[in-house]
């Protein structure tokens, strides 16, 4: 049995981490901490386990082997590093941390303590994305030339447990980034995973178009962004993110290869389609992408992967030591937007 504690009891904690721990036969949920105690109490009532008064009390509990860090972005690093230094394995939410130095300190802490540190880059685990990676790596469609990917929804204010446009997601000190990293890290990481190379340069533009705090002032982080990226191997493309896509969530990725066009989650019936240069089409129905509208429609697989990596003491596809390379693109996006010019990653 892996004995688990959870720090942060908001939406992702409830809908993914705790829900999936509760459905994993190798897990015992020991308890919860949230600085809004009523949220930890509600979790204990619904899923079992105790409530801690402080994060340190949970982190120091010798009855806990592994911890999920599900708090606001700015507090990922401090909780993760303390947990690792207290001998716990950690599954930390994305974006991994708010500075590159913190990301590096997290990876160092995992190494120093010989513990597993995984980041919830759940998009790597979908059947469609896994198959896309295999197909690209097979070379059957030729090399990747370019890509276009987009992730947009109506914003985090209706998703966050806060249910308010004064949510921490819109505040610079707690969130650090806006849609560019909140949504963009999923796609920046996915494209890196699919292409199998590291980014070389980025030009990023981040803007606030529509989101306002309850008092009517604009939010402190971007609600839309566009990134133009190149990889070291020359692959070139764009990532666009938006919190102002009202109506339905949009997530689509197109990979242009020498012998065809690969479309991911672009068709309601086939999650992966390759339109080949000879005019024929390969179609696969592999899954439906998980959205914030219906996060429990399928297990993300992230918790099972975390518990599997701990039990088998094996490397994971979600290891922070790899995800940090996607985070370098996020920090370069921040720098590019501030300078108004392309930057090296
Ligand atoms: N992997 C994904 O697809 C995905 C989806 C949504 C959110 N997230 C990430 O999960 C994290 C949490 O987001 P959420 O949607 O659950 O937000 P949320 O607002 O619903 O919940 C956050 C919770 O953390 C608590 N909290 C914040 N800082 C804390 C601290 N320092 N100590 C203790 N409790 C603290 C808040 O009181 C709140 O209950 C964020 O980093 C977010 O980016 C990831």
Q: Provide the domain count of the chain.
A: 2
**What is the rounded distance in angstroms from the CA atom of residue 272 to the CA atom of residue 134?**
12
217 located within any domain: yes
- How would residue 295 be classed by pLDDT, with cut points 50, 70 and 90? low
Based on the fold, state whether residues 337 and 198 are members of the same structural domain: yes
Based on the fold, state whether residues 140 and 282 are members of the same structural domain: yes
The last residue of a domain, from among 87, 105, 121: 121
- ∠ CA 242-185-200 to the nearest 5 degrees? 110
Q: Is the pLDDT of residue 221 over 80?
A: yes
d(CA 134, ligand 1 centre) in Å: 32
Based on the fold, state whether residues 117 and 182 are members of the same structural domain: no
* pLDDT in the model for residue 292: 60
Based on the fold, state whether residues 219 and 194 are members of the same structural domain: yes
Ligand 1 neighbour 162 (Cβ under 6 A): yes
178 located within any domain: yes
Structure tokens at 286: 């592999």
- Our mutation pick for probing the ligand 1 site, out of 12, 163, 174, 302, counting the most ligand atoms within 8 A of Cβ, is 12
**What is the rounded distance in angstroms from the CA atom of residue 340 to the CA atom of residue 114?**
41
Atom of ligand 1 nearest to the CA of 290: 3
* pLDDT in the model for residue 110: 98
Structure tokens at 30: 């020991």
* Closest residue to atom 39 of ligand 1, CA basis: 10
**What is the rounded distance in angstroms from the CA atom of residue 266 to the CA atom of residue 205?**
25
Based on the fold, state whether residues 168 and 242 are members of the same structural domain: yes
Enclosing H/E stretch for 144: strand 144-152
What average pLDDT does this structure show over 194-203?
98
| Three-state SS sequence of 296-323 | HHCCCCHHHHHHHHHHHCCCCCCEHHHH
**What is the rounded distance in angstroms from the CA atom of residue 109 to the CA atom of residue 127?**
31
Q: Average pLDDT of the chain?
A: 96
Q: What is the DSSP track for 209-235?
A: SS-B-TTSPBPSS-SEEEEEEEETTS-
The last residue of a domain, from among 121, 152, 184: 121
CATH code assigned at 132: 3.30.360.10
The range of the structural domain enclosing residue 128 comes to 123-289+320-344
Atom of ligand 1 nearest to the CA of 186: 3
What average pLDDT does this structure show over 317-330?
98
303 located within any domain: no
pLDDT (tens digit per residue) in 148-183: 999 999 999 999 999 999 999 999 999 999 999 999
- ∠ CA 149-155-157 to the nearest 5 degrees? 155
- Ramachandran angles phi, psi of 43, nearest 5°: -65, -45
Tell which residue, 27, 3, 92, has the closest CA to residue 321.
Answer: 92
Q: Does the pTM exceed 0.95?
A: yes
Atom of ligand 1 nearest to the CA of 174: 28
For residue 341, the Cα-to-chain-centroid distance in whole angstroms is 26
């Amino acid at each position: 049995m892996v004995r688990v504690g959870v720090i942060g009891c908001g939406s992702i904690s409830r809908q993914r981490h705790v829900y999936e721990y509760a459905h994993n036969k190798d897990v015992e949920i020991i308890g919860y901490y949230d600085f809004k105690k009523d949220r930890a109490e509600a979790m204990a009532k619904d899923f079992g386990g105790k409530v801690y008064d402080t994060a340190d009390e949970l982190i120091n509990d010798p009855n806990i082997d592994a911890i999920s860090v599900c708090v606001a972005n700015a507090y990922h690093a401090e909780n993760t590093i303390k947990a690792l230094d207290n001998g716990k394995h950690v599954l930390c939410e994305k974006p991994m941390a708010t500075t590159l130095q913190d990301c590096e300190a997290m990876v160092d802490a995992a190494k120093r303590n010989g513990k597993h540190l995984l980041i919830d880059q759940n998009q790597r685990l979908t059947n469609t994305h896994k198959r896309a990676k295999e197909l690209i790596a097979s070379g059957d469609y030729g090399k990747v030339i370019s890509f276009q990917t987009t992730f947009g929804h109506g914003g985090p204010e209706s998703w966050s447990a806060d249910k308010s446009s004064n949510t921490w997601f819109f505040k610079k000190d707690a969130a650090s980034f806006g849609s560019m990293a909140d949504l963009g890290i999923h796609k920046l990481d996915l494209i890196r995973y699919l292409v199998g190379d590291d980014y070389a340069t980025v030009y990023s533009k981040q803007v606030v178009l529509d989101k306002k705090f309850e008092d009517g002032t604009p939010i402190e982080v971007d609600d839309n962004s566009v990134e133009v990226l190149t990889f070291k191997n020359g692959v070139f493309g764009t990532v666009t993110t938006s919190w102002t896509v009202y109506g339905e969530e949009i997530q689509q990725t197109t990979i242009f290869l020498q012998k065809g066009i690969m479309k991911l989650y672009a068709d309601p019936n086939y999650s992966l389609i390759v339109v080949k240069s000879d005019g024929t089409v390969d179609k696969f129905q592999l899954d439906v992408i998980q959205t914030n509208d219906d996060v429990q429609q399928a297990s993300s697989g992230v918790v099972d992967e975390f518990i599997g990596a701990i039990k088998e003491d094996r490397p994971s596809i979600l290891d922070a030591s790899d995800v940090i390379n996607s985070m370098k693109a996020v920090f370069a996006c921040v720098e590019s937007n501030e300078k108004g010019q392309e930057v090296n990653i």
